Amino acid sequence: MERKKYPQLQNRSSLIISGLVLLFHVVGLYGFIDAERTASFIKLVPMHLLLMLALMLISQPEKSRNFLLFVVTIYIAGYLIEFLGVHTGLIFGEYRYGPTLGFKLAEIPLLIGVNWVLLIYSVGVSVEALGLKSTLLKSVLGASILVLLDFLIEPVAIHFNYWDWASATIPLQNYIAWFLFSFAGCWLFNRLTFNKVNLAASVLLVAQFLFFIGLNIMR
């Protein structure tokens, strides 16, 4: 099977959207590490998530029924897993959300589902570009990448009041739950048939890694 390539490399709009993704992450990194601007940039986090979602939807080549099914399913599942996680403490551990992610319903930010959509979509597209044949292998690789990203996210999220943990250390079950939920999301992504070629999504995944690596180094 021939490895899939990025035909959009010649597509100006795809390059523009990819550039915007990088630009907003670079500007966000600057705002978060500049003490005089940090408070203002924290308030922009919900807008940033919505903007990234809009850019991913715009850059998705075909908005087929299966693609929309993927987005809606991951959003709902992402919200519900966080709802159960916060209210039972049995999934990720004992934690609660701060105000950074915006409006909350039943103590869960409505945008947390958007965050899960962005994470699973961007890693799914990126792994798909490798040309692997096995759905199981692609799902395991995607979930592993997202757990690695969570290792970078956790210290930053606690510092900037995205969420905080009841214990002094982040419980191991958090990373296990991240892997299992990410695996399920990646499995759904890989089983559904729709156009999975999107340069901007891979750029988003790289930008998130660079953003959180930068904050861990500089904060």
In the chain, pLDDT over 70 holds for what percent of residues?
95
Question: Tokens standing for 178?
Answer: 């991240």
> Is 37 among the domain residues?
yes
Is the per-residue pLDDT at 121 higher than 60? yes
On the 0-12 / 13-18 / 19+ scale of CB atoms within 10 A, 149 is buried
> Is 201 among the domain residues?
yes
pLDDT at 13: 86
Lowest mean pLDDT among 59-63, 87-91, 205-209: 59-63
Q: Span 184-199, mean pLDDT?
A: 97
Is the per-residue pLDDT at 97 higher than 90? yes
- Cα Rg of the chain (Å, integer): 17
Is the per-residue pLDDT at 6 higher than 70? no
Element (H, E) at 61: none
How much is the pTM? Answer: 0.93
Q: Span 104-132, mean pLDDT?
A: 97
pLDDT at 11: 78
Phi, psi of 163, rounded to the nearest 5 degrees: -155, 170
> Is 87 among the domain residues?
yes
pLDDT at 3: 46
Q: Kindly report the length of the chain.
A: 219
pLDDT at 218: 83
* Confidence class for position 213, pLDDT limits 50, 70, 90: very high
Element (H, E) at 95: strand 95-97
pLDDT at 54: 98
Helix (H, G, I), strand (E, B) or coil at 104: strand
Is the per-residue pLDDT at 9 higher than 50? no
> Is 2 among the domain residues?
no
pLDDT at 52: 98
Q: Span 174-203, mean pLDDT?
A: 97
Q: Span 136-150, mean pLDDT?
A: 98
> Is 64 among the domain residues?
yes
pLDDT at 186: 98
Question: Tokens standing for 43?
Answer: 């308030």
Phi, psi of 79, rounded to the nearest 5 degrees: -65, -45
pLDDT tens by residue, 175-189: 999 999 999 999 999
* Count of domains for the chain: 1
Q: Span 103-120, mean pLDDT?
A: 98
Residue with tokens 């089983």, as numbered in its chain: 191
Q: Which domain holds residue 192?
A: 7-218
Could you tell me the end-to-end alpha-carbon distance of the chain, in angstroms, rounded to an integer? 45
> Is 1 among the domain residues?
no
Cα–Cα dist 36/214, whole Å: 18
Is the per-residue pLDDT at 10 higher than 50? no
pLDDT at 107: 97
Cα–Cα dist 199/1, whole Å: 20
> Is 117 among the domain residues?
yes
The average confidence (pLDDT) of the chain is: 94
pLDDT at 12: 81
